[in-house]
Amino acid sequence: MSTAGIARATELGGAVLCTVVGVLLLVATVLGPLVTGRVRFHMSEDALVQYVGGDLVTSSLALLFLVAAPFWSSGRAWAPALTAGGSAYVIYTFVTVVMGQEYAKYQGNAETAFLLYTAITAGSVLLLVFSVRACLALPPLPEVPRQGALALLIGLAVLFGLMWVAQLAGFYRTGPTDEYASATTLFWVIKYLDLGIIIPLLIITGLAQRHPTAVSNVAAITALGFMTWLLTAILLMSVAMLRQQAAGASWVLVVAFTVLLVPTVFVWVRWMIGASHAMT
């Protein structure tokens, strides 16, 4: 197959995957705690409140994926740039959903949605691959805030690292808190994913901006998009916790994550615009 044929197949495949994943995400949202509650997670009420906030992001991403599908098929550069970070966030979220529940401790029926969550994860993995493949074909991006991405990604990695290390230090020093006792598995899954995978990748991606390449461009677009959705989800979770007066709720967290989200959105949008301009 020619290079043009491969590019066209990538565009069509991305459009199909956008549609499929978008529809499946909407189904998961409707069945989940935000809408009908037909699928009941094996979690405490305080932990479940967080996923209600997170479902707002999931439903928003579902709609954006559906909107992006026709632009994928027409070869618009912003579409794979959008779905790269979005699909990475979906993978991360559903890993925590499936692996973070207390199946033996709390009643629920989340097992009934296992195949749905598996299909969403598999589709998101494929969409991420197609998005990366499409973004690798982008020409050089001279208009993007590369130094801003470097500082932001490393700054976020350091802040999240310090936050999680502080929580671990508190656990080892004083023992488990009530919040820990109600969501023990989720506590360790999040710390493992962030400290072992996400934070190192953010640092590597940030440092890679010192020597621009096609790979470093794709890594930055994906990481910035991922962190935009993750920070939005954490912010909405924090707001939901405050409204329900859940354990660990704090206005400080709401303000802090708002402060982190604003520059992340700004830099990510600048990268999206730069990718679009590069194709014109």
Distance CA 279, CA 268 (A): 17
Residue 96 phi/psi, 5° resolution?
-70, -35
Nearest in space to 144 (alpha carbons), one of 275, 12, 266, 248: 275
Distance CA 120, CA 122 (A): 6
pLDDT of residue 5: 72
pLDDT of residue 190: 94
Give the mean pLDDT per block of 10 residues along the chain (280 residues).
Answer: 71 92 96 88 83 86 95 85 95 94 91 96 97 87 86 96 94 84 89 97 96 93 96 89 73 90 95 78
Distance CA 9, CA 256 (A): 43
Q: What is the pTM of this model?
A: 0.94
Domain-wise residue ranges, the chain: 3-278
pLDDT of residue 210: 93
Tokens of 127: 């969409």
CA atoms 267, 270, 190, 186: torsion sign: positive
pLDDT of residue 280: 57
CB neighbour list of residue 142: distance below 8 Å, 6 or more residues apart: 274, 278
pLDDT of residue 139: 79
pLDDT of residue 3: 66
